[in-house]
Structure 1
């Protein structure tokens, strides 16, 4: 096997982690710009109904992205372990099987989202003024799910190999295409919400095509042939076993945000548009903890595969130190300057005030998750994705959703209190992750002592 272009397995941890995590962060930032640019375009050239439709519709599509990203983490972790252990054939089989699994997933998602678009809009309690536009957005983006799956799988493969720069290149070009497409379709052709959806899917398609061209030209750091593209039952089981818990958690997490938006939608189109804009800004805030989670997962997976457990643990603590600093800056800007951030998307003062109120609560969530997601990245890299899923589901269904429902049904509902449901859930996640870290380390210590006594 050729040596990976990363330095995960030797040398100083911080420079290696930053070299990998910064491109991941930038790629996530640009990917988040897809929905944000759509929201900016309709907010600039259209009206409240289009803003509400794109906000609700794009939040729905995040469920699809969450499922795909979670499952693809199984590919990243398994591929990282194969590369760390020097298993070239296992690495090739992992990629080949992933192609089969995710192609099938993309086809299924495209069919389901196409036929369920109107029902999803009903479930989302989309405001009547924005209902038809919401359906159009979900329908068009859902039909292009295969491209969303393709981009995320290819990015997961590159991350597993320790290469985070290639996905950044693809998404950079695609983001420019999306911006150009939005301006042309919305401003010039006056296609509104539908134009925003078409531009988004076209941009994803461009990323997939470019990435396939690069793979064909440069290949992988190990032998990979057409014969490797087959559904190996054992490999598929390992990928799903690792990725499904994360996918389920991500899906439920996005559903929880949909439920929150549904609760907010009942308060009127102004609150709906405001929280929709706030959620887009929250996506940017959470990019820091998310990028560190993905980076630490890949870093830990390769080191565990190479038998370097101490180095894997040091990577988590090193990443956490820098994540807290960056997360703190983002939280400060969101908490104290949420109104200025919201003005990027819309100029109507009532909507800006609603967005700023919600952002004060989610700023707290962002800071706490900057710590908690470093823990979950470490656990993902260890292969303990079932624990990550369990704690995530508890945070969602025992804390976030119940409190959001309670806050929205008070005599005078406040968006800040509804938003605090996400902050309380983040605190729950952090506490459970810390307790689990103490538990597994105590268990290892007792095991070593027991082994020494024998």
Structure 2
């Protein structure tokens, strides 16, 4: 356990953030390796089939991850206030609500699978492959949710290392199962999905049993489930759904763009899939500091340490901006090589479009960093509305580009969509963070 309410803020931020960062790198490394294995072993059509549905799977998985991170914010507040009885009830409620919501989403996604693929404008030549892949991913959503809720609860009490260890095991197993299912077993794109679900199941079981054995404050009894109050449920749903919908609105915008991208041909789909994989790697540090700030602010709010919240926000933005400078240099020097490493493709159309996306969008990562830190910090201090407003603006911006500018400008419209949306969505966050009563009332500190 790590108490984030005492001690040097910079050391605490990095001590918490580094394991989270390594975990995110492991996840993306697997994603990149998975992309390379699918592309090299099964060809560009299979890679396009997976890429055409990636925004949809990210939408649902991102919602569940945001939901569990929201639950963890409430848990962090109980931990910061040293209310361990309330923490146990919070854990019990998080597991119960998370399972119920995940089951509902899984059922709805499987029932409406084909209409969803049609809505995405999935190309006819890959729609069957896409369905084969994404249906298995959907079936494993409850496993993903349970792993995320266990990991988030461990981070809520300051343990960001244990989830990393189990994730590392899962990633190694995932790659091994990928190779097994795609090559000797010849399962095609289904094999990549099966490998993902099985490895997540093993990670989830290991994380859950370790959590309840290692930490007595997370060890549940029957009365913890019976003692869940309506107020606690309301708080969890308020924060969890807010962070879940915040993530979903971002991903819905990506889905909207994907519907337009899927009309531009297989080469563009592959180019954008590769560029997005690399973008996700570059933007990891932003989501890492966002996750860190949600827990940091939650614990310090519970402990009444408002000055530390303000200092933590400033430092997180500064460190994120330093990262942005490095990303810009790497992108302009090595973008073509990075695209080839991800796809294994020498197709000049793929390379040219993916490089154009990366070199332009990375110039505006400073805005993205600011967004990620502030909106997660605001969730941590109890403002669940402003982050949703901000994410809604991003959704609107991407929908407008998908409907108007991509048909007019082609892939250049996709390249422009995100930077324009970022500048719009940061405005309400900056206005509200300066007006937040909790942060203003202690200004004399």
Same fold by TM-score greater than 0.5: yes
Alpha-carbon shift at residue 51 of structure 1 (Å):
0.7
Q: Does residue 64 of structure 2 align to residue 46 of structure 1?
A: no
State how far apart, in whole Å, the 2-side matches of 1:254 and 1:25 are: 21
Which residue among 20, 24, 30 is the counterpart of 1:24? Answer: 20
Q: Gapped runs of 5+ residues in structure 2? A: none
1:174 alignment counterpart = 170
Which residue among 109, 114, 118 is the counterpart of 2:114? Answer: 118
Residues 336 and 25 of structure 1: CA distance in aligned 2, closer, same or farther (over 3 Å): same
Which residue among 395, 402, 406 is the counterpart of 2:400? Answer: 402
Which residue among 198, 216, 222 is the counterpart of 1:202? Answer: 198
Which residue among 130, 140, 156 is the counterpart of 1:134? Answer: 130
Q: Does residue 338 of structure 2 align to residue 315 of structure 1?
A: no
Given that 2:91 and 2:218 are in contact with CA atoms closer than 8 Å, whether structure 1 keeps it comes out as no
2:222 alignment counterpart = 226
Alpha-carbon shift at residue 50 of structure 1 (Å):
0.5
State how far apart, in whole Å, the 1-side matches of 2:218 and 2:273 are: 45
Residues 265 and 223 of structure 1: CA distance in aligned 2, closer, same or farther (over 3 Å): closer
Runs of 4+ in 1 over 6 A off after TM superposition: none
Following superposition of structure 1 onto structure 2, how do residues 10-409 of structure 1 map, counting pairs within 5 Å?
Answer: 10-221=6-217, 224-230=220-226, 231-346=228-343, 347-349=345-347, 350-397=349-396, 399-409=397-407
Residues 157 and 144 of structure 1: CA distance in aligned 2, closer, same or farther (over 3 Å): same
Given that 1:39 and 1:51 are in contact with CA atoms closer than 8 Å, whether structure 2 keeps it comes out as yes
Aligned residues: 441
State how far apart, in whole Å, the 2-side matches of 1:338 and 1:380 are: 35
Given that 1:285 and 1:366 are in contact with CA atoms closer than 8 Å, whether structure 2 keeps it comes out as no
1:452 alignment counterpart = none
Given that 1:114 and 1:140 are in contact with CA atoms closer than 8 Å, whether structure 2 keeps it comes out as no
Residues 49 and 441 of structure 1: CA distance in aligned 2, closer, same or farther (over 3 Å): same
Given that 2:306 and 2:439 are in contact with CA atoms closer than 8 Å, whether structure 1 keeps it comes out as no
- Deviation per residue, 1:55-76 (Å, 9 max, x gap): 1223211111111112112211
Residues 153 and 331 of structure 1: CA distance in aligned 2, closer, same or farther (over 3 Å): farther
State how far apart, in whole Å, the 1-side matches of 2:168 and 2:388 are: 31
Alpha-carbon shift at residue 448 of structure 1 (Å):
8.7
Residues 17 and 159 of structure 1: CA distance in aligned 2, closer, same or farther (over 3 Å): same
Q: Which moved more, 1:57-66 or 1:345-354?
A: 345-354
- Deviation per residue, 1:68-115 (Å, 9 max, x gap): 112112211111111111111110100001111111122222222222
Alignment root-mean-square deviation, CA: 2.0
Q: Gapped runs of 5+ residues in structure 1? A: 450-454
Given that 1:289 and 1:327 are in contact with CA atoms closer than 8 Å, whether structure 2 keeps it comes out as no
- Deviation per residue, 1:278-298 (Å, 9 max, x gap): 122222122111010010110
Given that 2:88 and 2:217 are in contact with CA atoms closer than 8 Å, whether structure 1 keeps it comes out as no
Given that 2:360 and 2:415 are in contact with CA atoms closer than 8 Å, whether structure 1 keeps it comes out as yes
Alpha-carbon shift at residue 229 of structure 1 (Å):
3.0
Residues 85 and 203 of structure 1: CA distance in aligned 2, closer, same or farther (over 3 Å): same
Residues 181 and 441 of structure 1: CA distance in aligned 2, closer, same or farther (over 3 Å): same
State how far apart, in whole Å, the 2-side matches of 1:443 and 1:428 are: 24
2:434 alignment counterpart = 438
